[in-house]
Amino acid sequence: MVGKKGQLKIQQMIFMLLAVTFLFILVGLIFLSVRLSSLKKTASSLGEENAMLLVSKLANSPEFSCGNSFGGSRISCIDFDKLMILKDHVEDYGDFWGVAKIEIRIVYPNEGNVICSKSTYPDCSIIKLLDKNVNTLPANSNFVSLCRKDTNGKIIFDKCELARILVSSEDKG
Amino acid sequence: MKMNKKAQEEMVGFVVILVIVAVILLVLLSFLIKKPSGEGVENYEVENFIQATLQYTTNCEDYIGFLSLQDLIIACEGQEKCLDERDSCKVLNDTLTGVIEEAWDVGQQSAVKGYKFKIVVDDQEKTVLKEGNETLDYKGAFQDFARRGTDYVISLNIYY
């Protein structure tokens, strides 16, 4: 009689262990399936991360940076003139930056939404440097100083404005 | 009495298992829900904002040319005036307010709930510009420089 009671207890224990194990397996399977199904999303988020890193270092890359043109070396400074030249040769770079869109917008002073071209420069505020015309993820942005040479008729001086550089990667989802 | 104790033990065991399962589920859920923060304010943004703002060319002119915002801070500390007789501190305040308001969209409906911009000269607070609510969540950065033996610290906190 005592042996039968013990057997029942062991059975109870085995059922409980099996149930808990199945529960863990079930949860693990759900977790794995969600993880696997989000592979595309991961690819997109990697692209987004790349854009975020790129946005931080782009302003200091040779194609964009002010170098020593505006008195000493400046950090996070973009040469407006360089940018206008680069805009005309951006096709030569192909997929060099690995992103779908690069845009620079002047934040202050706010002078409307005039797109920069040879005819509107320098009285413009949006420089569309790269646009692959694909679906993009929300842009990552960072502040930069956009500098150029200007004149008031008497002297030539450095004019730096506050701008935002926006980088978007392709939405692969 | 013995039966009662046994039932209690069973219940405690059941509760322990439930707690373990709940904790595991919570950990898994947190992994699933966690997404990279794309829309919030990042530290590098605030840091770059200060750097870029200090390079901004203001409309205050001296005998050499138009002053950058960094030079204007120094001019304000030296109580200098612009060539057109405007007070450098007034130009500094107006420019800073304009720059910050254009750069950060502050409001209750916006991601940015408030900001606090400070200029500290030799450990003394000289200029404090603030707007909105100072919440517990914020990103901040500072930039320091020295000129004519004086230390300047420019800091900005963005509350979200």
**How much is the mean pLDDT over chain A?**
85
Please tell me the predicted confidence (pLDDT) of residue A32: 84
Q: Does B143 touch chain A (CB under 8 A)?
A: no
Please tell me the predicted confidence (pLDDT) of residue B69: 95
> What one-letter code names the amino acid at A161?
E
Say yes or no for a CB contact (<8 Å) between A109 and B28.
no
A45 pLDDT above the threshold of 90: no
Nearest of B92, B26, B66 to residue A157 by alpha carbon: B66
Class of CATH domain B43-159: alpha beta
Q: Which residues pair with B96 in a beta bridge?
A: none
Cα distance between the two ends of chain A: 64
Q: Which residues of B touch A17 (CB under 8 A)?
A: none
A140 pLDDT above the threshold of 70: yes
Nearest of A109, A63, A105, A107 to residue A87 by alpha carbon: A63
Confidence of residue B2 (pLDDT cuts 50, 70, 90): low
- Tell me the shortest Cα–Cα distance from B80 to chain A, in angstroms: 21
Nearest of A64, A106, A71 to residue B99 by alpha carbon: A106
Give the ipTM of the model, two decimals please.
0.74
**Mean pLDDT (whole number) for A59-84:** 87
B1 pLDDT above the threshold of 60: no
Q: Which residues of A touch B53 (CB under 8 A)?
A: 143, 162
Please tell me the predicted confidence (pLDDT) of residue A19: 86
Q: What is the DSSP string of A84-145?
A: HHHHHTGGGGTTSS--SEEEEEEEES----PBP-TTTTTS--EEEEEE--S-BPPPEEEEEE
pTM above 0.90, yes or no: no
Residues A108, B51, A95, A134: is their CA dihedral positive or negative? Answer: negative
**Mean pLDDT (whole number) for A27-47:** 76
Please tell me the predicted confidence (pLDDT) of residue B20: 84
Say yes or no for a CB contact (<8 Å) between A48 and B36.
yes
Supply the Cα-derived Rg of chain A in whole angstroms: 28
Characterise A11 by phi-psi region: left (phi > 0), alpha (psi -120 to 50), beta (else): alpha
pLDDT digits (tens, 9 = 90+) for B62-99: 888 899 999 999 999 999 999 999 999 999 999 999 99
B151's enclosing H/E stretch is strand B150-159
pLDDT digits (tens, 9 = 90+) for B127-159: 999 999 898 889 899 999 998 899 999 999 999
Domain residue ranges in chain A: 38-168
pLDDT digits (tens, 9 = 90+) for B104-118: 999 888 889 999 999
Domain residue ranges in chain B: 43-159
Say yes or no for a CB contact (<8 Å) between A162 and B56.
yes
pLDDT digits (tens, 9 = 90+) for A106-136: 999 988 889 999 999 889 999 999 998 888 8
